[in-house]
Amino acid sequence: MLRLAVFVSGRGSNLKAILEHSELENLIKVVVVFSDKVECGAFEIARKYGIETKVIGKGDNKISNENLLDVLRNYNLDLIVLAGYLKLVPVELVREYENRIINIHPALLPSFGGKGMYGMNVHTAVFNSSAKVSGATVHFVNAEYDKGKIIAQRCVDISDVKSAEEIAERVLKIEHQILPEVIKAFAEKRILVQDNRVIIKS
Ligand code: GRF
C-alpha cells in the first residue's frame, strides 16, 4: 500500500474524492492530514475516516516548518499530495521528496498560476480573460508556486459560463477525477519522468 500524507487548507473536497475513490481502496492509505489551519472542513473529513490530523504553524501543539521534515519521516511516506494547501512547501521537503509531492491546481498551467493564484482568484482571472476553456492540472511540486513539471491536465468548456463561480463548479468536478487518477497511476508506478516531460503509461 502506498502511504500518503495529504496537505490541505480548506473544505477538503479533493481529500474526500481521494478517500472515496473505489479504485484507490486497495492501493493507498492516507496516514496523516496536515493543515496550516487549526480547523477546516478537510480535518472533519479526516477525522470521520479516523485519519490523524496535524497543524503546521507556530505555537503550542503545532509543527513548525523547521520540524516538518522530521515529523514526515516518521510516517514513512511514499507520496505527499497537496490538495488545496495554500502555503509554499519548505524547500528541504521538495528536495527529500523529489517527484513524490504532487499538487492539484484549478486551471490549465502554466497559465493562471503562481503566488496569489488560488481558489476564486484563479477562476475570476480565467473568467475575466474570456478564456473559452479551463481545467485542472496535477503537477509535481518544486520550490516555486505552480511551476513543477505537469503530470496530467483535463479541460472543460467554459464558453457559456455567466460567472467565475460557474467555472469553479465545473473545474472542481474535473479535479475530483484527475487527482485520484494520477494517484492511482503513481501507486501503479506508471508515472515516468523523462527529461522535461512526465509520461503516464497506460
Ligand atoms: C481546489 O480547487 C484546488 O484545486 C485548489 O484549492 C481548492 C481546494 O478545494 N488548490 P478542496 O479543499 O479540495 O475542496
Overall number of domains in the chain: 1
CB atoms within 10 A of CB 202: 5
CA distance 8 to 45: 11
Phi, psi (degrees; rounded to nearest 5) at 130: 70, 20
Name all residues whose Cβ lies below 6 A of ligand 1.
8, 10-14, 42, 83-84, 104-106, 118-119, 172, 175
Three-state secondary-structure class, residue 19: helix
Give the Å distance between the CA of 19 and the centre of ligand 1.
15
Give the residue-averaged pLDDT of 133-159.
Answer: 96
**Residue nearest (by alpha carbon) to ligand 1 atom 10:** 84
pLDDT at position 198 = 98
CATH classification of the domain holding 93: 3.40.50.170
70 close to 42: Cβ distance less than 8 angstroms: no
Q: Which residues are catalytic?
A: 105
Please answer whether residues 68 and 97 qualify as being in contact, where contact means their C-beta atoms are separated by less than 8 angstroms: no
At 72, the pLDDT band (50, 70, 90 cuts) reads: very high
Model confidence at 178, pLDDT cuts 50, 70, 90, reads very high
Q: Find the domain containing 38 and state its range.
A: 2-200
Mean residue pLDDT across the chain: 96
- For the segment 18-43, what is each residue's pLDDT rounded down to a tens digit? 999 999 999 999 999 999 999 999 99
Backbone angles phi, psi at 142, to 5 degrees: -120, -165
Residue nearest to atom 7 of ligand 1 (CA): 84
